[in-house]
Structure 1
């Protein structure tokens, strides 16, 4: 009996038979289903799409056209300006502080852009930089969002603040520090504080059910429960402290891995998500919700070094983050393939082994899932959009449009 993955393989092979690999595709049925599932989890709160997870204007537009999706979180200011100028959005939140002087000058000189784009800040030094590019009084007012560090620091007092669970982001961790920075922004001419963001990476970006690691999974879940409880109280206090100095338009939080949990926090008014639309392999390690795999890339079999191994052309599309096997792409179709421990995924060749490798012939295709989401788009100039068993359209990635922001 054919499995679901066997059916998917035949469908992708039929749809793309006229195309030469390496190619990347997005299964529109899975993409749309994931978009709807994320909105359901958000429980009535709007979802802001993380552009770095898609890196394709057409698919950003497809998600934003669905009810419940609103606004874009970009990863650079230059990207935000491009998305606004090309009509993708009129509500762009830059997810990280910027030192892009040329982009800042462009923003400061255009009141329309300044009204559509909000910059992330966690220090008055970032305000100083903006003022050196364009002084207050001779530029448009700059909208800002305060980045509250969402990491968990248990027993920080006893250990001098050295125990840190989460990513190293903003230096603003306490409600008092958030209020102090909000007050400083409020006193600076040419700036307006309109938002607060806190990304709980240790919850949203860390799978709580890593395969074959039961003890580690239980430890992660315990840490996440304690971290969430602490953050709910601290975020509420920070929002209250900031509101003493600014009229906040939004409080942003979360990511694909914590949409439902973050939406349950009363202080949060909007959620960010993006990776769940593509359903990359890292999200197979989550218990609460696993998106349907929607983004794939295919490589051709070019030789058979042994009867139980096939070698593919290319494949070294490794995800960012800590250097471990989880960042390697996953051979997905046909099922029953695995990378070798000695070569992994290589720049010009990738050997695969396993039961399914015995039946592969030169010229056959192997379909992979990237470990992360939007980084796939950095390796291809276009994405083929598959509906049913045909390609319904082909759209450029950022790279395909000549854009490389990071």
Structure 2
């Protein structure tokens, strides 16, 4: 029985649209990620999961420790449910959440917030100024891991932190050390240009060569620069962790001696954007099903909904992939629509009203913003239905 037949049969009692998570694929992907990490722990990026129950399942597996959250309110909620060791990957300007953090003993012990300039420290101080008996705020320095060449005319990587050099990091570390109520516990540098850019894109040899050239040089530069930064900061204070990487760079980032943990999450679901890497392959684990509601012409079917575009620079690679049955494609004049999506191809001839088409989202956790729950499939049966963040009434962004 192929995957399409299995998914159709197992979910025959469900009315689409709905989303599923194939647990066998999830476990296989998790095993591949820990093998690539070479013994270093993986901190799970909650942004790529967005289901508390799934986070708990992953953290129960060997090799996964701690969470990388995307907002402080999310981190506070996760800790309130019993989860531990949550690093907030992005700076916060949420005064209420910061006040809650400073006033809550357990939250202050389990949550680390991100800073990359003195202005962040000033903001936190102002937000917690009225808290009596405030707890110490754990902080992490975010370092710019982008690749810069040609005298600054070329840049690859996410625009994150203004801190690039060891002296800049040391200055901010010294500032934190002097401020009562703060403790620097970690350092983070996310190499998006390696971890989030596939080095084996289809159909464009010139682009492939350019990406591989950039990534090889970026990796060499970052090994040296990140090492200098860690050495400079540890002259001022001891660090509990140095975090780096992402799903696409695990086996590269883990080779750096200064790295103590890897951040990753997308590889667990293995969405479409992670099909284009040379060094690893995964199994699609998270899928969603849409029903066929029209057959407007030969070779065309229309499914309900489907406009689940992924974030990032606009492009066709941000659209969900019509996955099963194979051979379906978008109408270039319509794409994926808010309420209906036409699909073209020979496979459309065999589809009837009420049949389902299975899709893969381009990015991992953003799928869960569209569905209240995930039906967990293990083999040939559904073993559970678990809520997403949305299903628990939580929308953090």
SS in 1 for 2:193: helix
TM-score (normalizing by structure 2): 0.98
SS in 2 for 1:391: strand
- Distance between the aligned counterparts of 2:78 and 2:373, measured in 1? 18
Once the 2 structures are TM-superposed, how far is the Cα of residue 290 of structure 1 from its aligned partner? 2.1
Aligned with 2:331 (options 330, 340, 360): 340
For the aligned residue pairs, the C-alpha RMSD in angstroms reads: 1.0
Aligned with 1:117 (options 88, 111, 122): 111
TM-score (normalizing by structure 1): 0.96
Once the 2 structures are TM-superposed, how far is the Cα of residue 162 of structure 1 from its aligned partner? 4.0
Gaps of 5+ in 1: 1-5
Aligned with 1:31 (options 23, 26, 32): 26
- Distance between the aligned counterparts of 1:126 and 1:388, measured in 2? 48
Aligned with 1:128 (options 122, 126, 133): 122
Aligned to 1:403: 394
Alpha-carbon displacement from aligned partner over 1:202-250 (angstroms, at most 9, x marks no partner): 0000011111112101110110000000000000000001111111000
SS in 2 for 1:317: coil
Aligned to 1:99: 93
Contact 1:137 1:190 in 2 (8 A): no
Does residue 223 of the first structure (1) align with residue 214 of the second (2)?
A: yes
- Distance between the aligned counterparts of 2:49 and 2:204, measured in 1? 30
SS in 2 for 1:315: coil
Does residue 65 of the first structure (1) align with residue 60 of the second (2)?
A: yes
Contact 1:21 1:300 in 2 (8 A): yes
Does residue 383 of the first structure (1) align with residue 371 of the second (2)?
A: no
Aligned to 1:249: 240
- Distance between the aligned counterparts of 1:70 and 1:388, measured in 2? 27
SS in 1 for 2:203: coil
Number of residue-to-residue matches in the alignment: 396
- Distance between the aligned counterparts of 2:86 and 2:70, measured in 1? 10
Does residue 167 of the first structure (1) align with residue 151 of the second (2)?
A: no
- Distance between the aligned counterparts of 1:100 and 1:214, measured in 2? 45
- Distance between the aligned counterparts of 1:218 and 1:362, measured in 2? 45
Aligned to 1:3: none
Gaps of 5+ in 2: none
Alpha-carbon displacement from aligned partner over 1:102-135 (angstroms, at most 9, x marks no partner): 1101000012210100001001111111111113
Does residue 13 of the first structure (1) align with residue 4 of the second (2)?
A: no
Aligned with 2:271 (options 273, 277, 280): 280
Contact 1:137 1:189 in 2 (8 A): no
Once the 2 structures are TM-superposed, how far is the Cα of residue 251 of structure 1 from its aligned partner? 0.2
Aligned to 1:211: 202
